[in-house]
Amino acid sequence: MNEFSLKKLEYDKIKQMLVGYTVSHSGRELALKHQPSVNHAQVKAWLLETDEATQLLVSGASVPLSAMEGIEPFIALLGKGKIYTEQELGHLAAWLSAVAQMKRYMDAKRFTAPTISSYADSMYDCPELRKEIDRCIRHGVLTDQASPDLGDIRRHLAAIEDRIERKLTQTLGKYKSALQDQIVSKRNGHYVLPVKRELRKQVPGTVWDESSSGQTLFIEPVDVAELQVEWQMWKAEEERERTILLSAMSELAEEQGDHLRWNLEAMASFDFIFARAKLSRTYDGIQAVLSDRPYVKLVGARHPLLAAGCVPLNAELGGEWKQLIITGPNTGGKTVTLKTIGLLAIMVQSGLLIPAQEGTEFGLFHHILADVGDGQSIEQSLSTFSAHMESLKEMLQAADAHSLLLLDEMAAGTDPGEGIALAIAVLEELLERGSLVAATTHFNEIKRFAAQQEGCMNARMAFHAETLIPMYRLEIGEAGESYAFAIARRFGLPERIVSRAEHRAAASKANDVEDRGHQADKEAYPVVFDRIKEPIDVEAGKVNRPSSHNRNAQPKKGEQGKSASERKGNDTTAKVFAVGDCVWIHPLKRTGIVFKPADDRGDVQVHVQKAKMTFNRKRLSLYIPSSKLYPGEDYDMDIVFDTKENRKTRKQIKRKYVPGLQIITEPDQPKS
């Protein structure tokens, strides 16, 4: 898997949560090293393990997992001839008890969790070793019962220590004037008296320590020197016997080395499996159905890092369509939708349960690639567009029929026209390769591509147009609006600026509709437009007509849904056109904008490519009503019909008289 995409989709945060649920170092290492798999059998086995472990946790049972304190270094030193300490052997005995407990627990859960309970069959709790350690060591110390010799040695040591203490107690009065305190203490294994430094010569003996201030010396008096030598001899005997006993138990551990390693592996696996189950329980995860083809079907899915109250996601990819183009306003949830699709796919391939409902299905992907976020980098001198191109290059190098690609804000960061063309070309290439793609955009051209291209599907994030509140619900089958002006008002931009923007957008939209109609005509009727040097060529008051074999041709788009009588121009029903309506002009096989409604003779004046022409309403059909082209009834139609220069001049004339200032308008063309 691509590490950059994994981080973009926040898989690293899921890994951090997973690691946090482990209780042992070995289990933590397994979680850190874990990566998604493309092996169907492996993923299926992982999911089964996680599901069974989750069922055990749901039942309320307390799983006897072990932190395995000190066990990893203990087992790592097996075979090196090390003599282990009492503490190390004590940890081993405690861990073997945990192994035995886990075996009993799993044996009792064979019906509920048959798969993971069978893993305990390979574990061996080494009862002889555990029994010997428990007999010899208690609370990290060798017991007197560890061997007869050790017991005898310690009895001699205790007797000598008692004699030394009695002797020193007797000397306290003898050296009373030289002592800081009337006490007997022990320093460096020797019984000593606290003597004032300046009176050191009054207490003959060996100095073994001094106080932090240096004013007190801890002296072993010569009175107990012989007893101290005897004590040290027995202490050496004790150490020798201790070494013999620890060596014997270390050898027993060496003999069980293979079993200990298997136990460590099994206990670490249980720790990791139950960590996956604990993580899954935090968001009520379910086991997704594994598909044998590249496919995504989400039913009631949620992003695992979001609160449980987030709106569930329903989506599909790889069935009737391979590309899902998601539109809608900013802050509406488009990017979260992409991240949810990608992250859940990765989690499934990692053997994790996912926050979704039954019916959710995933295929396995060799590549899950994401270009989410703007990717700007000052250090690497990357702009938003450059970052997108860098990501796209890597995606296109890897993308195939077993790839899932997530593209956020396609065509962003550069000239819209060029960006849109590039985005559509990329989508076409990925469609040819068979890759599954979920992409977000604000551009209408990409929405139209998705609507017309087989294998693509539009979708939108639901948005309440009246309250301006995003609903965070994905609706498949229809493109959405960006609601830029509504959101701008919601955030308090001045109304005059928003209104001005709406007027400009409406004018641009009207011109765009007219230009698209003209371009479509040129492609559909080349014979007509080969004869027209300009978009509309008016000579001597006549309009060029299409050749006879094209005269009855019909438009490819815009005529659908109209009655036959309306398309032929039959006046069975009077047609009423309003100023600003976009109409289909049958003689020209193109669109225009109504400049003046029909007069009493039924003649309508239409604005066509900067010229105004008159047609009888029988020769026109409604293409797009003005209500869908402009923001309101009070929209200034001069923006559509007049030039920018004339509008500026007209404003100047209204303010004051300017000599020589004039407005030039084209004469109306005769009726066609």
pLDDT tens digits, 415-432: 788 888 999 999 999 999
What integer pLDDT is reported at residue 672 of this predicted model?
Answer: 61
User: What angle, 0 to 180 degrees and rounded to 10, lies between the N-to-C axes of helices 11-20 and 25-33?
Assistant: 170
- Per-residue confidence at 168, pLDDT binned at 50, 70, 90? confident
- Residue 269's nearest CA partner among 461, 389, 118 is 118
Percent of all residues in the chain with a pLDDT value above 70, rounded to a whole number: 84
Domains and CATH numbers, the chain: 16-126+256-282 (1.10.1420.10), 146-231 (1.10.1420), 289-493 (3.40.50.300), 506-654 (no CATH)
Asked whether residue 535 carries a pLDDT value surpassing 60, the answer given is no
Q: Is 453 helix (H, G, I), strand (E, B) or coil?
A: coil
More confident residue, 142 or 380: 142
What integer pLDDT is reported at residue 60 of this predicted model?
Answer: 83
Question: How many angstroms separate the CA atoms of 530 and 27, rounded?
Answer: 75
- Per-residue confidence at 309, pLDDT binned at 50, 70, 90? confident
Asked whether residue 652 carries a pLDDT value surpassing 90, the answer given is no
* Overall average pLDDT of the 377-395 stretch: 67
Asked whether residue 325 carries a pLDDT value surpassing 80, the answer given is yes
For the chain, give the number of residues.
672
Burial class of residue 492 (count of CB atoms within 10 Å of its CB; 0-12, 13-18, 19+): exposed
The b/e string for 38-62 (b: 16+ C-beta within 10 A; e otherwise) is eeeeebeebbbbbbbbbebeeeeee
Question: Which two structure tokens, joined as six digits, stand for 467?
Answer: 């309250």
- Per-residue confidence at 175, pLDDT binned at 50, 70, 90? confident
Confirm if 376 and 384 have CB atoms less than 8 A apart.
yes
* Overall average pLDDT of the 513-541 stretch: 41
Asked whether residue 671 carries a pLDDT value surpassing 70, the answer given is no
Q: Is 98 helix (H, G, I), strand (E, B) or coil?
A: helix
Asked whether residue 668 carries a pLDDT value surpassing 70, the answer given is no
- Per-residue confidence at 570, pLDDT binned at 50, 70, 90? very low
* Overall average pLDDT of the 594-605 stretch: 91
- Per-residue confidence at 542, pLDDT binned at 50, 70, 90? very low
Lowest-confidence region among 439-453, 461-475, 564-578, 596-610? 564-578
Asked whether residue 506 carries a pLDDT value surpassing 80, the answer given is no
Mean pLDDT score across all residues of the chain:
83
Asked whether residue 658 carries a pLDDT value surpassing 80, the answer given is no
CB neighbours of residue 262 within 10 Å: 14
